[in-house]
Amino acid sequence: MDILAEALHRLSHLLTEAQRRHIPDANAAALATVDAFSRPSVRTIYILLGDAGELVFFTHRESGKAHQLSTNPNVGLMFYWPALATQVVIDAEATVAHDKLAQSCWRKRPHDSQLAAWVSRQSSPTGDRRLSASRLTRQRQAFDFQPVPLPRNWQAFELLPRRMEFWEGGWQRLQTRVAYVRQNGGTWTRERYEP
């Protein structure tokens, strides 16, 4: 197994373990982006893993994330599972996912999450929360438990890691820190750090 595959496998194992332990929102991560004026923005998103371990998330094409990624694709991502005493920090580049990967990951989203994407006008001002709820009810009836396609106004982004650091808690704060780092030539190295 090459070093990048090892890092992705390690992350996949942690996500599986968090789900096995019924940790709420096990696949939630903080995503940091930067706007055209170099102002940072952080929000929680849900990461899905593609069949080859790709890191994928979805967003509305008019969302703040999408606009920021169009001018600066560099992102920071952090998973944190207190129950596992573990966090994973990822430095990556976001790119629009190819259609096959987007469709594969879309099918992994929960049904209600797929329906919500159809009715969400993400990042648009609204005066009444009930509007979204009523749109969701109508959309549920419209699909009538049929497969829900990816809406045209949503897109998938794939995160291409440059660095992945795994931090595991230890006795008396003697944490284990292992980083997987892509070098300039494209090869990957594994490095250990002091806690």
For residue 182, indicate whether it is catalytic.
no
SS (H, E, C) 8-77: HHHHHHHHHHHHHCCCCCCCEEEEEEECCCCCEEEEEEECEECCCCCEEEEEECCCHHHHHHHHCCEEEE
> What pLDDT is stored for residue 139 in this prediction?
65
pLDDT one-digit tens code per residue, 72-122 = 999 999 999 999 999 999 999 999 999 999 999 988 888 778 878 877 666
Tokens 């494209």 belong to residue: 186
Domain 3-193 carries which CATH code? 2.30.110.10
Give domain limits for the chain: 3-193
Neighbours of 188 (CB within 10 A): 18
Look up residue 59 and give its two tokens: 């967003």
Q: Which amino acid is at 113?
A: S
Active-site choice (130, 173, 182, 190): 173
Q: Which amino acid is at 187?
A: T
pLDDT tens digit at each of 195 positions of the chain: 699 999 999 999 999 999 999 999 999 999 999 998 999 999 999 999 998 889 999 998 999 999 999 999 999 999 999 999 999 999 999 999 999 999 999 888 887 788 788 776 666 666 666 556 676 676 666 677 778 888 888 899 999 999 999 999 866 666 789 999 999 999 999 999 887
Spatial distance between the Cα atoms of 176 and 194, rounded to a whole number of angstroms:
8
